[in-house]
Amino acid sequence: MKQLLQTLTQIPAPSGREDEIRAAIQKMIQPYADEIRVDALGNLIARKGKKAKDGRRILLAAHMDEIGLMVSHVDTDGFARFSTLGGFRPHRRVGTRIRFLNGVMGVIGLEREAEEKDRAPSLDRYFIDTGANSAKDSPVKVGDAAVYDSLFLDLGDRVVSKCLDDRVGVALLIESLTRLKSGKNEVWYVFTVQEEVGARGAGPASYGIDPEIGLAVDVTVANNMPNTRGRNPISLGGGPAIKVKDAGVVADPRIVQAMTRLAEKNRIPHQFEVIESIGTDARAMQVTGLGAQTGGLAIPLRNLHSPSEMIDMGDVKNAARLLAAFLREA
């Protein structure tokens, strides 16, 4: 699993630019899926099994995209101004290295006058320094996208990288698809696009599949750090979190109860997620078409939307166990 995570996190895929990661995932799952297609938005959709009379149609979603930046213009001195793709907070990232999809490297900078103010500067005060001296010399142009330049770190029981949100969910779906034996349920694995900019991919995918059950496999904020526990008691290493509520969805009680029962039955460490600050693909699945019983399974993560997100491999292992149990007994 660590090797899979390293492979996935080192592929750049800012929102709207998921082609490379989609191709890599499709190659991995091709031998194991009964059907694979790519829809108009770019979602990668794979089916395993066929629904029996007493079976259910289940949709599992994990998003392929990651937060990033897009060049909005290049000024006369060669500095690239930018728009954000998703929850990218530039006031926390001054001096951070980024890599464009064309391979060009840059560093996030802030105008000197803006640095001296107490409040967070507006987006137009930031720039990307690619080393260019003029607009003519710039190696990037309007519309070019970039992500963090970040190495994968193996810290034993824990790993650190950019975009573990949500490559860990992608990895869990890949592992599930390759190991799942066909049964009474029809399981659709959807690797979604543009989640970070409003969960845009999950809705159309769900509309085309019309699931009875939808489950978003994503991350949640771990707060077992100095002075951060607050009202959200999710802990790194405490097990996967069963979604009860997030910013976009109130999970179906039947899904919460089923996952809780299975976790207890199989002695799987678990937590419960009630959080206001983040949303997932779950909302889109819940309200698309005729709707679906919807829930989520979340991996605790530190340093969300940073170049150094951290997860615990024990949480990943237990999430895989709980997901497998749910698919067997749903």
CATH code of the domain containing 129: 2.40.30.40
pTM for the full predicted model: 0.94
41 lies in the same domain as 186: yes
Q: What one-character-per-residue DSSP string does 230-257 give?
A: TT----TTS-PEEEEE-SS-B--HHHHH
CA 77 to chain centre: 35
d(CA 78, CA 131): 8
Domain range spanning residue 125?
Answer: 68-148
What are the catalytic residues?
Answer: 195
308 lies in the same domain as 221: yes
- For residues 287 and 247, the answer to whether their CB atoms sit within 8 Å is no
135 lies in the same domain as 214: no
State pLDDT tens for residues 85-101: 998 888 889 999 999 99
Please, which pLDDT band fits residue 169 given cuts at 50, 70 and 90? very high
Among candidate residues 125, 148, 171, the one where a domain is terminated = 148
Give the CATH number for residue 170. 3.40.630.10
Whether the ω angle into residue 65 lies within 30 degrees of 0, i.e. cis, is no
Among candidate residues 118, 148, 178, the one where a domain is terminated = 148
103 lies in the same domain as 9: no
State pLDDT tens for residues 73-88: 999 999 999 999 998 8
Question: Mean per-residue pLDDT for 126-130?
Answer: 97
| Domain count across the chain | 2
Among candidate residues 148, 175, 191, the one where a domain is terminated = 148
196 lies in the same domain as 317: yes
Specify if 153 maps to a domain: no
